[in-house]
């Protein structure tokens, strides 16, 4: 199975400041068609997960443009330009390059 | 409005069985693959199973293979997960999620989850 490693595991951010979460895989998530088989999900407190970013860098409908995804191969990053109070929760990356799909451990983001 | 509503969770003894359901509305179920994803208490997300729109492609996590069976009834707009030989480590919230990019990615809608507790 592909192992996904996120860092940091927790992040405390001042509102309006940027934040970044790293996600690394032990195998490349980029196929010859150049697609990057990585999604980002956010699970807000007490809620189900929600899709933020798909195929590495594409924002899902309705996701604010302060969220961006980047990276290639085995190294990916989720950035939040200016963190807002509503962004608290646990962020997960997930690879779909290979079955079984596997998630990172999650990164908990809270507000200072 | 797209909705996924899970049901069927509960308390069951080790070795017992449960059947989870996921009722879909607001979209044509047969056009989409669906995933089951679970979350143990206080833990992260774990993919459990995936089934394609026509049920022609089915896959399972190794941890549930041979014990869980996924199925769907597109006419009834429903997804199911038959769970047998349950173990304590199967305890958690089970979510169904719609897949936009086959076979397992881009899960754009998730249900609210149903809690399964395996304990004597």
Taking a C-beta distance cutoff of 8 angstroms, is the pair A99, B103 a contact? yes
CA A85 to chain CA centroid, Å, is: 18
CB contact under 8 A, B45 and A37: no
pLDDT attached to residue B102:
83
Low-confidence ranges of chain A (pLDDT < 70): none
| Nearest-neighbour CA in chain B from A83: distance (Å) | 23
| Nearest-neighbour CA in chain B from A112: distance (Å) | 22
Taking a C-beta distance cutoff of 8 angstroms, is the pair A29, A76 a contact? yes
**Overall residue count recorded for chain A in this entry:** 112
pLDDT attached to residue A31:
80
Q: Report the alpha-carbon distance of residue B44 to residue B63 in Å, rounded.
A: 15
CB contact under 8 A, B45 and A51: no
Instruction: Using the predicted structure, report yes or no on whether residue B66 has a pLDDT greater than 90.
Output: yes
Where does the pLDDT of residue B104 fall: very low under 50, low under 70, confident under 90, or very high at 90 and above? confident
Tens digits of residue pLDDT in B6-24: 999 999 999 999 999 999 9
Tens digits of residue pLDDT in B80-100: 999 999 999 999 999 999 998
In chain A, residues with a C-beta closer than 8 Å to the C-beta of B112 are 48
**Closest chain B residue to the Cα of A48, Cα to Cα:** B112
In chain A, residues with a C-beta closer than 8 Å to the C-beta of B97 are 49
CB contact under 8 A, A105 and B44: yes
Q: Report the alpha-carbon distance of residue B15 to residue A44 in Å, rounded.
A: 33
């Amino acid at each position: 199975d592909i192992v996904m490693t996120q860092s940091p595991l927790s992040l405390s951010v001042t509102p309006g400041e940027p934040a970044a979460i790293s996600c690394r895989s032990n195998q490349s998530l980029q196929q010859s068609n150049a697609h990057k088989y990585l999604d980002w999900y956010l699970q807000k407190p007490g809620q189900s997960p929600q899709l933020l970013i798909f195929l590495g860098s594409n924002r899902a409908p309705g996701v604010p443009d302060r969220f961006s995804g980047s990276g290639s191969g085995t190294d990916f990053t989720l950035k939040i330009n200016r963190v807002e109070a509503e962004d608290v929760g646990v962020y997960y990356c997930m690879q779909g390059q290979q079955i079984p799909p596997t998630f990172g451990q999650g990164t908990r983001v809270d507000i200072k | 409005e797209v909705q996924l509503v899970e049901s069927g969770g509960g308390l069951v003894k080790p070795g017992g069985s449960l059947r989870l359901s996921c009722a879909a509305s607001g979209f044509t179920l047969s056009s989409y693959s669906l995933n089951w994803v679970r979350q143990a208490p206080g833990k992260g997300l774990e993919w459990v199973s995936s089934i394609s729109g026509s049920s022609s492609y089915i896959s399972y996590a190794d941890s549930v293979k041979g014990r869980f069976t996924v199925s769907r009834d597109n006419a009834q707009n429903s997804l199911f997960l038959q769970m047998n030989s349950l173990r304590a480590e199967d305890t958690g919230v089970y979510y169904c999620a719609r897949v936009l990019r086959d076979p397992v990615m881009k899960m754009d809608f998730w249900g609210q989850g149903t809690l399964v507790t395996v304990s004597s």
